[in-house]
């Protein structure tokens, strides 16, 4: 793995000074093309051996390029904000937007490798973390990002020499810490764990670029050239080809499907509703005040037909909650900022801290519902989304997010009745738009998309609850009850 990076590569001063101006100019050109195209973002990971020149290269990069369009992140200790979310949250929030370059010094590789070297985790846990990284990078890459992973390497003797040299010079002495020497003693362990990690995560779309770190001129020139070639290649490449999988969705052989099988006649009289509402709201309030609740968080997803009563159901939940504890996140068309990111980014940013609740009024499932049906994304994109969403939700659930997903279902007739009501009632008119009428015409396509969604994303860790919603009272009580039960199960979970 590191063979070529222990040969003693060197660049003489003359060559360096001849080559750098050429490189800088070409890099700046590439950066400006990147900025004006805004077609993709560049994600740079900088890892490797202590003392191999990681920070120097990052500094050089900021000197060579226009630093206003580079975001550098030294991912050190986690903040309390970060610890309260799944481990990948901190990286999601720092992802560069299209047109930008994001540099991560310390990345999604750092902690899994460190924990394994320190013997705090098993080999299987390392392997799992690395597979997660591969999936994450594949998703980023499928979403258009250019991922460049650099690894700066020194041989064992080389690292020792470098640390001693840094210590000897009064100007750099401060840079060598006890931790550096401690890590040096663990060199062989590091080498083994890193080699394994790099072996399983070097993919064709996101390979590792291993650079010998001993000679500053050499490493900077190689770093700069790889960066330049990659960005240039990507800029000049024609639009990525569309490779639609030859896999059919479930064919409709009979007339039966999940939504049609739902009994929409269930209802609840008003008096019973009012009584039960109070009872369940009280219970929900108590649950969120349980001291064990501080260890978990809740994310509710509300999807459903237009006018199925999502908003009303959410208000019956939030009515039972302390306003400091929850947030309602209405999902409409993405903002410019959101469009410049992978589609899951806008949902990651709203993942609640521990002890909090988030109500998503529509959600990441838009990808496989409206985006699929309306053709807002390519078929291959919504096809891969099912697995990406399952992976995303698995990360939430692992982090003790209680994830509760509701589909509110009404019949076509009931929807028509509600649309007309909305049009007729002054203070409800804002709730009905031409879009709603247009969507209605695509009822069968939406129905198919909903069934596929439930089949592919109703999992043992995050099941869907299908709610018959022709009767609002019944729907609201079912939702409150399900939510309470899921939170109770979450509180009992002893992880």
Q: Which of 38, 205, 289, 429 binds a second copy (CB under 8 A)?
A: 205
Query: Would you say 19 or 436 has its CB closer to a second copy?
Result: 19
Residue 270: is it exposed, middle or buried by C-beta count within 10 angstroms (0-12/13-18/19+)?
exposed
Whether 46 and 152 have beta carbons less than 8 Å apart is answered as yes
In the list 180, 458, 488, 491, the residue contacting a second copy (rule: CB under 8 A) is: 458
- Using rule CB under 8 A, residue 4 touches a second copy: yes
**Residue with token string 């481990």:** 87
Alpha carbon separation from 371 to 363, 367, 381, 445 (Å, rounded): 12, 5, 10, 12
Site for a second copy in 211-230 (CB under 8 A): 218, 221-222, 225-226, 229-230
Positions 97 through 136 that interact with a second copy (CB under 8 A): 122, 124-125, 127-128, 131
Can you state the angle between helices 472-492 and 310-318, rounded to 10 degrees? 50
Going by C-alpha positions, the residue among 343, 52, 383, 49 that lies closest to residue 198 is 49
- Residue 199 binding a second copy, by CB under 8 A: yes
Closer residue to a second copy (CB): 194 or 370: 194
Residues numbered 375-404 forming contacts with a second copy, rule: CB under 8 A? 380, 383-384, 386-387, 390-391, 394
Please report how close the Cβ of residue 174 comes to a second copy at its closest, in angstroms: 31
Q: Cα 490–492–495 angle (5° rounding)?
A: 80
Smallest separation (angstroms) from a second copy to the CB of 240: 6
Tokens 């499907």 — which residue? 257
Site string for a second copy, 415-454 (x = CB under 8 A): ------------------------------------x--x
* H helix runs in 249-378, sequence order: 270-289, 310-318, 336-339, 345-348, 370-374
Residue 332 CB: number of other CB atoms within 10 A?
8
- 333: contact with a second copy by CB under 8 A: no
Tokens of residue 182, six digits: 């401690």
Q: At its nearest, how many Å lie between a second copy and the CB of residue 31?
A: 15
Q: Is 243 in the site for a second copy (CB under 8 A)?
A: yes
- Exactly one of 21, 251, 426, 434 binds a second copy (CB under 8 A); that residue is 251
* Smallest distance, a second copy to C-beta of residue 483, A: 20
Using CB under 8 A as the binding rule, whether residue 62 contacts a second copy is answered as no
Complex with a second copy: residue 385 or 479, whichever CB lies closer: 385
In whole angstroms, the minimum distance from the beta carbon of 304 to a second copy comes to 16
Is 9 among the residues that bind a second copy (CB under 8 A)?
Answer: yes
1 binds a second copy (CB under 8 A): yes
Q: C-beta of 200: minimal distance to a second copy in Å?
A: 7
CB 393 within 8 A of CB 461: yes
Residue selected from 163, 210, 370, 396 as contacting a second copy according to rule CB under 8 A: 210
Binding mask 134-163 for a second copy (x = CB under 8 A): ------------x-x---------------
| 37 touches a second copy by CB under 8 A | no
Considering the rule CB under 8 A, would residue 192 count as an interface residue with a second copy? yes
Site string for a second copy, 274-303 (x = CB under 8 A): ------------------------------
| Ranges within 71-90 binding a second copy (CB under 8 A) | none
CB of 9 to a second copy, least distance (A): 5
Cα(365)–Cα(450) distance, rounded to whole angstroms?
Answer: 9
Smallest gap from Cβ 45 to a second copy, in A, equals 13
User: What's the rounded Cα separation, in Å, for the pair 273 and 362?
Assistant: 25
Nearest residue to 109 (alpha-carbon basis) of 200, 22, 5, 189 = 200
* Segment lying near a second copy (by CB under 8 A), choices 196-204, 275-283, 285-293, 310-318: 196-204
Q: Are 166 and 25 in contact (CB under 8 A)?
A: no
Smallest separation (angstroms) from a second copy to the CB of 175: 26
Considering the complex, state which of residue 243 and residue 336 has its C-beta at the smaller distance from a second copy.
243
Q: Which of 376, 456, 488, 491 binds a second copy (CB under 8 A)?
A: 456
Among 261, 271, 323, 333, interactor with a second copy by CB under 8 A: 261
Nearest to 464 by CA among 281, 179, 262: 262
Closest of 150, 155, 171, 165 to residue 220, by C-alpha = 150
Q: Which long-range contacts (CB under 8 A, 24 or more apart) does 463-468 make?
A: 463/405, 464/405, 464/406, 464/407, 465/404, 465/405, 465/406, 465/407, 466/258, 466/259, 466/262, 466/407, 466/409, 467/304, 467/406, 467/407, 467/408, 467/409, 468/262, 468/263, 468/264, 468/265, 468/266, 468/409
Residues 6+ apart with CB under 8 A from 189: 117
């Amino acid at each position: 793995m590191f063979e070529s990076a222990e040969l003693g590569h060197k660049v003489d001063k003359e060559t360096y000074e001849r080559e750098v101006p050429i490189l800088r100019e070409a890099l700046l050109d590439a950066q400006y093309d990147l900025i004006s195209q805004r077609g993709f973002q560049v994600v740079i990971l900088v890892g490797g051996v202590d003392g191999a020149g990681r920070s120097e290269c990052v500094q050089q990069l900021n000197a060579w390029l226009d630093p206003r369009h580079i975001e550098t992140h030294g991912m050190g200790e986690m903040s309390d904000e970060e610890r309260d979310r799944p481990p990948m949250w901190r990286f999601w929030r720092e992802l560069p937007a299209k047109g930008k370059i994001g540099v991560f010094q310390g990345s999604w590789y750092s902690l899994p490798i460190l924990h394994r070297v320190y013997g705090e985790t098993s080999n299987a846990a390392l392997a799992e973390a690395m597979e997660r990284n591969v999936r994450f990078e594949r998703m980023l890459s499928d979403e258009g990002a250019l991922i460049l992973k650099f690894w700066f390497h020194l041989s064992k003797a080389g690292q020792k020499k470098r640390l001693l040299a840094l210590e000897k010079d009064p100007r750099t002495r401060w840079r060598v810490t006890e931790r550096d020497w401690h890590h040096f003693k663990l060199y062989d362990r590091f080498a083994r764990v890193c080699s394994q990690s790099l072996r399983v995560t070097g993919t064709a779309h996101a390979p590792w670029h291993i650079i010998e770190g001993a000679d500053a001129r050499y490493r900077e020139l190689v770093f700069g050239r790889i960066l330049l070639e990659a960005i240039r290649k990507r800029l000049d490449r024609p639009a990525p080809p569309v490779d639609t999988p030859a896999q059919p969705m479930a064919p409709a052989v009979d007339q039966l499907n999940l939504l049609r099988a739902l009994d929409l006649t269930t209802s609840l009289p008003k008096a019973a509703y009012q009584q039960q509402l109070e009872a369940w709201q009280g219970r929900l309030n108590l649950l969120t005040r349980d001291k064990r609740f501080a260890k978990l968080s809740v994310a509710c997803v509300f999807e459903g037909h237009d006018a199925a009563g999502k908003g009303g159901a959410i208000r019956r939940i939030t009515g039972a909650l302390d306003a400091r504890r929850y947030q309602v996140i209405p999902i409409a068309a993405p903002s410019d900022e959101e469009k410049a990111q992978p589609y899951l980014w806008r949902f990651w940013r709203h993942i609640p801290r521990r002890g909090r609740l988030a109500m998503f009024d529509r959600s990441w499932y838009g990808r496989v519902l409206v985006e699929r049906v309306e053709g807002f994304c390519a078929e291959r994109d919504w096809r891969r989304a099912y697995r990406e969403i399952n992976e995303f939700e698995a990360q939430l659930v692992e982090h003790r997010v209680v994830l509760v997903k509701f589909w509110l279902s009404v019949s076509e007739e009931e929807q028509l009745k509600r649309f007309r009501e909305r049009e007729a009632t002054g203070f409800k008119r804002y709730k009905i738009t031409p879009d709603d009428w247009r969507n209605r015409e695509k009822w069968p396509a939406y129905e198919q998309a909903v069934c596929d969604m439930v089949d592919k994303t109703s999992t043992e860790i995050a099941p869907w609850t299908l709610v018959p919603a022709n009767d609002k009272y019944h729907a609201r009580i079912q939702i409150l009850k399900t939510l309470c039960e899921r939170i109770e199960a979450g509180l009992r979970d002893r992880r």
